Structure 1
Amino acid sequence: MADTQITPEVTWAQRSSSSDATRNYLFVGVNVPDVPKNAADLSVTPSSISFTGRTIKGVKYHVSLDLYAEIDPENSKVNHTARGVELVLRKKELKAEYWPRLLKETKKVHFLKTDFDKWVDEDEQDPTLDDDYAANFGGFGENEGLGGIDFSKLGGGPTDAKPAAANEPDESDDNQDDEMPELEGDAAKEEEKPEN
């Protein structure tokens, strides 16, 4: 088993800009769980990425990617985690158009997948959201990749109930059943129409 070499799953997404190099990059994830940083060899050149690593159980991963166009390794970032290697690779050429694919070759490879969690269509890019993601790998750290969700604002718990004021009388359940909430939208308009 130690000599078996596995090609890991690689995910990718991208952003583009014709005027701002910091908003012109690729997200590439090499999914290699349990490969310690000291057992990994990552090479990032202007035209390729290569990764080789061995898990603590002896499984060897290897992948080599010849990129569609050139990147700027000096201004790219790497984050090695227990689940794999995350890269934010700055594209060398400033263009508003996306790369048509990640790899130079046009043939489809089984291990390469689009990262739909990070993918945004060209015409729907939001530079303010992308700045944080590229700089912090999606907010990993403080919120561990949850994207800054404030769970206290989500419903479903007793924290949503308004505290009763000290001087207000407590209403019984019988009185609350008689009141109907107001309708919203089209249903409310239908209720307002006088009957003929």
Structure 2
Amino acid sequence: MRLIRFATLVVVAALVGCSDNPSSTAPAPSASAPASPVAGCGFHRFEDAAAVLNAPMNPTPKTDDVEPGAKDTRFLSCVWWTADDKNYANVGYREALTPAGAEDNKVQFANQQTADAVTINGLGDAAYWDTPNGQILVFVGENLLLVTTGVRDGKGTERSQADTTKLATLVVSHLGG
């Protein structure tokens, strides 16, 4: 049950963002890249999303605290949308705050992996393409990344593994992993 909830939270955060919560999005200074990092987007940068999506971008990301009230982890989502709101680049970052959170991240990473997952060598400490959900899970230190790119209302099975891998590689490089 927890794994289904975990994957569902990430998808909901990616597609819904925080559209009605003004405190969850930061105003951008212009139509170009934001001048400073937005909470949850410090290592998932405007430039990375623009490079992967190869389209004019909305300068304001949608962010979300995916597991509010969690004590052992902090799970933030950062979603950059194209200017036409059709395509997105999403990174969920589940940071371990305690040893119990680190263990839970390890369990989530292992338990989410299905038989048809594709290992991605050289990305973080361990990574794989989650085929049914169309996302990449990356384990970096004690933290977990969930990375997706896609089209609004598109199915996980229609997501691009190549685009998502490119995004995950850029994001992990900003984490130093």
TM-score scaled to structure 1, two decimals?
0.25
Q: Larger helix proportion, structure 1 or 2? A: 2
Could you say which structure has the greater relative contact order, defined with CA pairs below 8 angstroms and 6 or more residues apart? 1
